[in-house]
Amino acid sequence: MNSSLTFSLLFFAVIRDSSLILLPLLLLAELCVRSSARPAPRSALCGLLRPMIHQVDGLSGLSHKLHHLTKDELANFEAAEYRLDGLPHFEQTFIHFSSMQLNQSLSQLLLYTQAFRLHADWLIKAKENVSLPSRAAEGASTHLLQLSTLINASLHQMGEEAPQLAPPSLPAVSTAFDVLRFSVEFSNRLQRFCHWSKRVLGHLQRRSCPRR
């Protein structure tokens, strides 16, 4: 075998061996580029938490306008019993907030949001039936729907299945006085929901959103 043929064979052997080594490296580099281009789940969630807090703020502003009663008139309803059993009660202890898990907290928040929206829609119809203004209740329903949509999107990004709330039992309403009584109760409970939600979302934001 002459020297030129030997050199050619060695050259192609080196090229072939180098290709076998370079191919895995190129694939690895491509995977790194793709993974770095894809936004981190927590960063994506952070972008949804801010508008959630914005919706809760809007909801909180409307919660005080659901009954259109003065302070003196509200005194007539202070002794009224709670009858909206389908609305949730909230734990607001330090232990409760410090033990929150991201997916569980969002799932719980979604169920609570769905419950309040169903009651808001029920209150709208009840107000219309007795010719009471329902604009504040309609605004609350809109904020609750938008909040629910944002929570659903967050759970979807996390690969979690969104829970569905069973329809609650709602009381029958026949008089304007009953509607006002339920409006006061719904207003008070909605204010508590907004306070609880702000604490939950603020806690999740501090855990999930990088500080600048």
CATH number of domain containing 69: 1.20.1250.10
Domain that holds residue 28: 1-37
Indicate whether 115 and 180 sit together in one domain. Answer: yes
Indicate whether 29 and 65 sit together in one domain. Answer: no
Indicate whether 139 and 168 sit together in one domain. Answer: yes
Indicate whether 57 and 144 sit together in one domain. Answer: yes
Indicate whether 27 and 76 sit together in one domain. Answer: no
Indicate whether 29 and 45 sit together in one domain. Answer: no
The tally of domains found in the chain comes to 2
Indicate whether 57 and 33 sit together in one domain. Answer: no
* Mean pLDDT of the region 5-27: 46
- Closest-CA residue to 182 (of 133, 136, 119): 119
Q: Is the confidence at residue 69, as pLDDT, over 70?
A: yes
Q: How confident is the model at residue 57 (pLDDT cuts 50, 70, 90)?
A: very high
Give pTM, 2 decimals.
0.76
125-164 pLDDT tens trace: 999 999 999 999 999 999 999 999 999 999 999 899 999 9
Whole-number Å distance between alpha carbons of 152 and 106: 9
Q: Is the confidence at residue 195, as pLDDT, over 80?
A: yes
Q: Is the confidence at residue 196, as pLDDT, over 80?
A: yes
